[in-house]
Structure 1
């Protein structure tokens, strides 16, 4: 059963334009289906965050935030899968399966599953492929003034005022009926 609804806009098309830089991954590619390893356990995945690496960000960058958002979720507000906040400027790569505890820097806010950390892809069975927007936000501050109990929307609100540049990769995921 495919849910009939229009395709949601890319979330960053709705925000003020910022410059971009390079985001690469050994695990996910722009416009390509993700492996089930990066999907949520509820759809048979391993719930592992993918490798991400970035470069070419502005020289004045003081810190980073990493996010993963599904604009295609049938919620009216999308679905936040991952919000990793306050990474220092010298962290420019995340290994596969990373957690904030592994890094000993930064922290995650609760995703829309209600859990801290990465929550993998889990579109409704039979729905069209969903886009998973992995973004690295280069900040003009070394840390956002938010706490681990902040919502992803509140972090996003703060990002709107402190993002110098953004790097994005948009893999997809689909669960057959």
Structure 2
């Protein structure tokens, strides 16, 4: 019998190569899925941050334009009111050249609440959809008196806001925003003689 001049891979070499390739593929798949999971989390956090920032910017803009205006009966001024599910106040609209009510409404739900905004008689618009885990807003009223002063002092009104946002997928940690917003125009009106 003549020796075979065509060399081939042995069974052991084929098994070793298949083992190395499967370890490499397993590691690559694991790295890719971890990267994808991390990317999804950071993308979800970015969406929550953007929603929260846009909501706070809109609320801050409205509160900067908040005013004390006589109500429709011509009597006492309309009040800024905060309830667990609603925040309402009057704003001066330069577009309309008049004051109109602005209402922020929180609709709680098991898998994420929503925040709506209505200005005047316009249709209600949804600002954050199904991403609010919890929301608390409250009015804070402070009076600063100078010692031995006969005046009424300086008053400061603010809205304390504590909102927690979460994604519906559930993998991301909830994102919490806490701030106090000071309605500049309203505070000037309260302190003017």
TM-score normalised according to structure 1 size: 0.29
Structure with bigger gyration radius: 2
Higher helix share: 2
